[in-house]
Amino acid sequence: MPKNSSLRKAAKVKNDEFYTQYADIQREVNAYLEYNPDVFRNKTILLPCDDPEWSNFTLFFAQNFKNFGLKKLISTSYAVESKQLEIDYQPTNFEKYSSNFDETKTRCRGKIFTLDKDINGDGKVDFKDLKWQYLEDDGDFNSDEGKKLRDEADIIITNPPFSLFREFLKWIMEAKKQFLILGNMNAITYKEIFPYLKDNIIWLGVVNGAKEYITPTGEHKKMGNTCWFTNIDHGRRHTPLSLMSMEDNIKYSKHKEIKEKGYQKYDFYDAIEVPYTDAIPNDYNDLMGVPNSFLNKYCPEQFQIIDAIGRYSQLYGATEETQGKYLTMVNGIHKFVRIVIKRK
Ligand SMILES: C[S@@+](CC[C@H](N)C(=O)[O-])C[C@H]1O[C@@H](n2cnc3c(N)ncnc32)[C@H](O)[C@@H]1O
């Protein structure tokens, strides 16, 4: 067992258990439907890393099954024993009073819920028609059982465990699936993630930024830097940013650094520092370093992503000259991580 396993366990317990609100799912999904009303038609949607008995993802897609023209909805949960949750576990009444309930499985097995037709005969297909059973394993997305479900799906949608974000995206990409998942903004510059963003293979969703999530004890917890990652198209990414020229920015910018100092070059990297997305000059044709929140407004028809630079690192094309240097330094002062972009 690795030495730091108890630390890893603590981090996992802290970071991975928070649940998405219905309205946040609805707002995001609506943006894809607006762009393409048939985006989910005849599709099998998999909602892994969920807890179907009370998940808002499951509720939202089950209630909209007919509306979206879904073929099948599959939702899976992770066994409570594997979560190592430090709360007193009790199966829900739904599970306890179901004929499928099994005392020997309730803690160590994941569950699978499926929906594909009206089974209670009320003429609707909704939450009440979900069928469930225990999985053979604990519901780990990356198990053989998890991979089989992934392969059956057309689209994968969830808020996955943030501590396994790299592995989760890899699991999706190796099966070449469409997806919509929540993640942390810092993941943008992970070396396993950034190349996909750079090459427009994946992009950010629409309603990013501060959101409130629900904790296992029912409290609301605000998280400032979460965002959606996806490879499903939406209209926002085809809307160019409206920007001023460099001269007008220097004259009229609401940011005093720009008004006072103009645009400065990095000490060891051949680009100008642009500390705010709304201060990107629309007439500058060379490299510009912008905050990672620029990706919320990124339109691939307007800009090209070239690189990402951190304090000591360059994700792409590092040369001997730039290797190990303080790349985001301007006149001896470090800036945060920057995305390097160029006008198209
Ligand atoms: C951020 S929570 C989100 C839950 C739910 N999708 C939602 O949005 O409300 C991530 C969930 O993934 C579960 N999880 C952690 N590791 C997992 C794994 N290897 N496979 C499947 N689920 C896992 C966690 O226990 C947690 O319940």
Taking the centre of ligand 1 as the mean of its atom positions, its distance from the CA of residue 307, in whole angstroms, is 31
pLDDT band for position 320 (cuts 50, 70, 90): confident
Q: What is the pLDDT of residues 78-92, one digit of tens each?
A: 999 998 777 778 898
Question: Measured between alpha carbons, how far is residue 166 from residues 181, 189, 262 in Å?
Answer: 12, 11, 38
**Residue whose CA lies nearest to ligand 1 atom number 15:** 161
* 277/326 same-domain check: yes
Report the b/e string of 294-313 with b at 16+ CB within 10 A.
Answer: bbbbbeeebbebbbbbbeeb
Pairwise CA distance, residues 120 & 106, whole Å:
25
The total number of structural domains in the chain stands at 2
Nearest CA to ligand 1 atom 18: 140
Residues 79 and 138 in one domain: yes
Q: Which numbered atom of ligand 1 lies nearest the CA of 15?
A: 1
Residue from 18, 49, 157, 159 whose mutation best tests the ligand 1 pocket (most atoms within 8 A of CB): 49
- Which residue owns the Cα nearest ligand 1 atom 7? 19
330 and 273 in a common domain:
yes
What does the mean pLDDT of the chain come to?
92
Check whether residue 199 and residue 295 sit in a common domain: no
User: Rounded distance, CA 258 to CA 330, Å?
Assistant: 14
Those residues whose C-beta lies under 8 Å from the C-beta of residue 113, and which sit 6 or more positions away, are 52, 58, 73, 74, 75, 76, 130, 131, 132
If you take atom 23 of ligand 1, which residue's CA is the nearest one?
49
Q: Which atom of ligand 1 is nearest to 214's Cα? A: 9
pLDDT band at 270 (very low <50, low <70, confident <90, very high): very high
Residue found under tokens 């519901």: 139
CA of 160 to the centre of ligand 1 (A): 5
Measure CA of the first residue to CA of the last residue in the chain; give whole Å. 51
> Which atom of ligand 1 lies nearest, measured to the CA of 160?
10
Q: Closest residue (by CA) to atom 22 of ligand 1?
A: 49
Q: Which residues of 32-70 are buried (b: 16+ CB within 10 A; e: fewer)?
A: beebeeebbeebbbbbbbbbbbebbbbbbbbebbeebeb
302 and 168 belong to one structural domain? no
End residue of a domain, out of 189, 210, 238: 238
Domain that holds residue 259: 246-343
pLDDT tens for each residue of 44-64: 999 999 988 889 999 999 999
Residue 49 CA: which ligand 1 atom is closest? 22
The domain boundary residue, chosen from 211, 238, 265: 238
With a Cβ cut-off of 6 Å, ligand 1 is lined by 16-20, 49-50, 55, 57, 78, 83, 139-141, 158-161, 164
What residue owns the CA closest to ligand 1's atom 5?
A: 50
Per-residue pLDDT reduced to its tens digit, 121-179: 999 999 999 999 999 999 999 999 999 999 999 999 999 999 999 999 999 999 999 99
Pair (40, 162) in one structural domain: yes
What is the value of pTM for the model shown? 0.94
43 shares its domain with 111 = yes
> Which ligand 1 atom is the nearest neighbour of the CA of 19?
9
Judge whether residue 101 has pLDDT over 90: yes
Tell how far the Cα of 244 is from the centroid of ligand 1, in angstroms: 43
Q: Are residues 204 and 290 in the same domain?
A: no
Q: Is the pLDDT of residue 99 over 70?
A: yes
The residue whose CB lies within 8 Å of the most ligand 1 atoms, and thus the one to mutate among 15, 16, 29, is 16
18 CA from centroid of ligand 1 (Å): 8
Please tell me whether residues 281 and 327 are part of one structural domain. Answer: yes
Nearest to 172, CA basis, from 55, 11, 49, 43: 49
Does pLDDT of 316 surpass 60? yes
**For ligand 1, what atom is nearest to the CA of residue 47?**
6
Cβ(224)–Cβ(30) below 8 Å? no
180/284 same-domain check:
no
- Show which of 238, 273, 293 is a domain's final residue: 238
Gap between the Cα atoms of 2 and 16, Å rounded: 20
Nearest-CA residue for atom 26 of ligand 1: 17
Residues 136 and 234 in one domain: yes
**CATH at residue 33:** 3.40.50
Q: Relative to the CA of 162, which ligand 1 atom is closest?
A: 1
Q: What is the pLDDT of residue 14?
A: 54
Lowest mean pLDDT among 5-19, 163-177, 226-240, 317-331: 5-19
Q: Same domain for 303 and 178?
A: no
- Which residue is closest in CA terms to ligand 1's atom 17? 140
123-132 contacts, C-beta under 8 A, 24 or more apart: 124/66, 125/65, 125/66, 126/62, 126/63, 126/65, 127/58, 127/59, 127/62, 127/63, 129/62, 130/52, 130/58, 130/62, 130/73, 130/75, 132/52, 132/98, 132/100
**pLDDT (tens digit per residue) in 190-248:** 999 999 999 999 999 999 999 999 988 889 999 989 999 999 999 999 999 999 999 99
CA 103 – ligand 1 centroid, Å: 22
- Give 222: exposed, middle or buried? Use CB within 10 Å, 0-12, 13-18, 19+: exposed
